[in-house]
Amino acid sequence: MIGLRLKLLVLDADYELVENKGVIKLFCKDENGNTVLVLDPNFEPYFYAMPKEGKAKILKEKIEKLDTSKLNARILKVEIVEKIWEGEKTKLVKITIDNPRRIPDVRELIKEWEEVEETFEYDITFYKRYLMDKQIEPMGWIEVEGEEIERKDHRVQKVIKAKVVKPAKLEKEVKFKILAFDTEWVEENNKNKLIMLSLASNDGFKKVLTCYDWEEKPNWVESLKNEKEIIQRFVEIVKAKDPDFLVGYNSDGFDFPRLKEKANEFKISLKLGRDENPLRTVRRGRVSSAKLRGRVHVDLFVFIDHILSASLKSE
C-alpha cells in the first residue's frame, strides 16, 4: 500500500457497514478532476441522554451494563460530558456504539428509564454526523492522509483508506462532468410507455434513444427495439460518461418514478451511481429525491420551485 496525502473536493457522502461497523464513504474529486473514494473507518456513531437531576453517574453505569446483543449492536463507550443546554452548562451522557443503524434502537431501550429526562441527536444520519463533527462542507475541500487500496466495486480512479480527514483551505475550480436527461411517454392500453430518452452533456455529447426508426435520421439518434432496451442503454451511457452531476427537470416527480416502475417491470437494476447499488429514493426537505451514490442528482424544477421561485418575477 502507498501512503498518500491529498487535497480533495467532497462531491457526495454516504456510509456502509463492514463487519457491523460504520465506514464513512466520501466521493471526491482531486485537483486534476479524477474521482477518488475516501473510506474512513475511524468515526463512531453516538447520541446523548440527558439524566435527571443527580442521576448522571447512575445512568452511565446502567447503560454500561445494557445488553444490546439482540440488536446486533455493541456499546463501545459511555461518557459523562458537559454541553450548553438552554444557555447553561449541563451534564449529558454520551453513548457511542458500533453500528450506526442501531442508534434509534438503543435509544428506544433507554428513553423511558426513570433516570432519563430526554434524548438527543439519535436521528442524525451517520454521514451527516461525520460532516458536522469534522466541519466538512459539501463541495468543500478536505485534506486526507491514508493508504491507497484496491476496490473493484466502485467506478472511481482511486480508493483511499483514510487515517486522517480534516477540512482544507483551497480555492480551486474543478471541471465537473454534467449529464442532463429527459424522457417522453405516451399512453397505450391504459399504460405508460417510454418512447424516447434524450441526453446531453457539457462536453458536447448528445444522444436521443427511441423505439422509432426512420431514414436519414441524425447520427445522434439511436433506434432501439423497445422500452427495456432504452432503459438498459440509458444505464450504459451514464456509466460510460461517468458524470459528476446527473440533471433533470422534474426528474424527482416524473422521470425517475416512471423509470423505476418500468425498470421493476423489466427486472432492470438502475445502477446509475458510482457503486453497485441501484437508485434509491430519500427524503430531502419537502420532496422525495432520487439518490445516486457518488453522483449528485439535481432536479432543476425542485431547485427553482423551492429556492428561486420567491425571487422570480412573473406576469
pLDDT category, 17, cuts 50, 70, 90?
Answer: very high
Q: Give a yes or no: residue 172 inside a domain.
A: no
Place of cell 416502475: 261
105 and 75 in a common domain: yes
- Domain of 99, CATH number, reads 3.30.342.10
Helix (H) / strand (E) containing 113: none
Residues in CB range of 159: below 8 A, 6 or more apart = 36, 37, 39, 148, 149, 150, 151
Write down the pLDDT at residue 105: 97
107 contacts 116 by C-beta, under 8 angstroms:
no
d(CA 194, CA 258): 9
d(CA 300, CA 303): 5
The pLDDT of residue 3 is above 80: no
269 and 190 in a common domain: yes
Name which of 252, 237, 240 is nearest 283 in CA terms.
252
Write down the pLDDT at residue 138: 86
The pLDDT of residue 1 is above 60: no
201 and 162 in a common domain: no
Q: What amino acid occupies position 4?
A: L
d(CA 275, CA 47): 29
250 and 205 in a common domain: yes
| pLDDT, averaged across the chain | 94
Query: Considering the entire predicted model, what is its pTM?
Result: 0.91
162 and 247 in a common domain: no
198 and 277 in a common domain: yes
- Domain of 27, CATH number, reads 2.40.50.590
d(CA 112, CA 175): 52
Pick from 108, 124, 140: which residue ends a domain?
A: 124
222 and 95 in a common domain: no
- Domain of 227, CATH number, reads 3.30.420.10
Write down the pLDDT at residue 221: 97
Q: The C-alpha cell of 234 is what?
A: 440509458
188 and 243 in a common domain: yes
For the chain, what is the domain count? 3
Boundaries of domain holding 77: 46-124
272 contacts 248 by C-beta, under 8 angstroms:
no
The dihedral built from the CA positions of residue 283, 289, 294 and 299, taken in this order, carries a sign that is negative
Write down the pLDDT at residue 63: 97
Which whole number is the average pLDDT over 54-72? 95
Q: The C-alpha cell of 153 is what?
A: 466495486
d(CA 82, CA 157): 43
Q: Give a yes or no: residue 153 inside a domain.
A: yes
18 and 157 in a common domain: yes
Pick from 167, 194, 227: which residue ends a domain?
A: 167
Which whole number is the average pLDDT over 282-303? 88
The pLDDT of residue 313 is above 70: no
The pLDDT of residue 315 is above 60: no
Q: The C-alpha cell of 13 is what?
A: 457522502
Which whole number is the average pLDDT over 143-165? 96
Write down the pLDDT at residue 308: 72
Which whole number is the average pLDDT over 80-86? 93
204 and 102 in a common domain: no
pLDDT category, 314, cuts 50, 70, 90?
Answer: low
71 and 136 in a common domain: no
Q: Give a yes or no: residue 217 inside a domain.
A: yes
Write down the pLDDT at residue 2: 56
263 and 185 in a common domain: yes
Q: Give a yes or no: residue 173 inside a domain.
A: no
Instruction: For 224-269, write each residue's pLDDT tens digit.
Output: 999 999 999 999 999 999 999 999 999 999 999 999 999 999 999 9
Over its C-alpha atoms, the chain yields an Rg (Å, rounded) of: 24
- Beta strands 178-188; 245-248: pairing state: parallel
Instruction: For 205-230, write each residue's pLDDT tens digit.
Output: 999 999 999 999 999 999 999 999 99
Reported in sequence order, the residue ranges of 30-74 that DSSP labels E, i.e. its strands, are 35-40, 46-51
